[in-house]
């Protein structure tokens, strides 16, 4: 009986160690292994679990309260200062602005993949602001914008631009 208790105690310790190791490695490396390296901007990347951009854009209201991490391709960058970028994954796109205008991205990184951490925003923007964004965006059509616009956006606290592939 004494040896059964000892084996049970050892098994419990082993299970506890395995659970702790799993929790630590998930926090450090994410569900799919370590996050890829790259050039960090802003506060860098602190989250490990990534959400597909398509999932976020399908139900943006679910992601406005807490920071999330997305991975997508950069399809456009503000060519004046690098103060915003457009992320694309398939048919899903989102304009990313940077928290408190606190950092900018290099203007020549269109086409590269990035990890972006922040919160989804849903707001109504004026016709003037919408036209301004369209004028700065490749292929934008500011003359086709009339009235206030609903904008689903992303405010990033950190961005990791992945190496060109």
Tell me 38's DSSP state: -
Residues 57 and 25 in one domain: no
If one counts the domains in the chain, the total is 2
Quick one: CA torsion of 132, 133, 136, 141, rounded to 10 degrees? -90
pLDDT of residue 12: 55
Nearest to 151 by CA among 60, 47, 22: 60
Tell me 49's DSSP state: -
Nearest to 139 by CA among 70, 86, 101, 92: 86
- The boundaries of the domain holding residue 47 are 37-161
Identify the band that residue 3 occupies on the pLDDT scale cut at 50, 70 and 90: low
Give CA angle at 48 (45, 49), nearest 5°: 125
Residues 81 and 28 in one domain: no
What lies within 8 Å, CB to CB, of 148 at 6+ separation is: 124, 125, 126, 127, 130
Residues 62 and 141 in one domain: yes
pLDDT of residue 34: 84
pLDDT of 47 strictly over 60: yes
pLDDT of residue 29: 42
pTM of the entire predicted model: 0.74
pLDDT of residue 21: 41
Nearest to 18 by CA among 10, 35, 88: 10
For 68-101, how does the pLDDT look when each residue is reduced to its tens digit (9 = 90+)? 999 999 999 988 889 999 999 999 999 999 999 9
Residues 58 and 30 in one domain: no
Residues 29 and 76 in one domain: no
CATH number for the domain spanning 55: value is 2.40.50.140
For 17-44, how does the pLDDT look when each residue is reduced to its tens digit (9 = 90+)? 544 444 444 444 444 568 999 999 999 9
Quick one: CA torsion of 52, 39, 32, 34, rounded to 10 degrees? -160
Helix (H, G, I), strand (E, B) or coil at 75: strand
Task: Count other C-beta atoms under 10 Å from residue 58's C-beta.
Answer: 10
- Residues 127-153: b if buried by 16+ CB within 10 A, e if exposed: eeebbebbebbeebeeeebeeebeebb
């Amino acid at each position: 009986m004494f040896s059964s208790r000892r084996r049970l105690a050892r098994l419990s310790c082993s299970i506890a160690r395995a659970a702790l190791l799993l929790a630590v490695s998930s926090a450090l490396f994410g569900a799919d292994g370590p996050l890829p390296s790259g050039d960090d901007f802003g506060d860098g990347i602190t989250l490990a679990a990534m959400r597909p951009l398509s999932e976020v854009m399908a139900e943006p209201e679910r992601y406005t309260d807490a920071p999330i991490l997305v991975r997508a391709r950069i399809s456009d960058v503000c060519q004046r200062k690098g103060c915003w970028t457009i992320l694309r994954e398939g048919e899903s796109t989102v304009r990313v602005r940077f928290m408190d205008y606190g950092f900018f991205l290099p203007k020549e990184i269109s086409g590269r993949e990035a990890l972006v951490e922040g919160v989804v925003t849903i707001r109504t923007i004026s016709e003037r602001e919408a036209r301004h964004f369209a004028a700065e965006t490749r292929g934008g059509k500011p003359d086709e914008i009339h009235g206030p616009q609903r904008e689903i956006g992303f405010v990033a606290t950190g961005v990791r631009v992945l190496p060109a592939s």
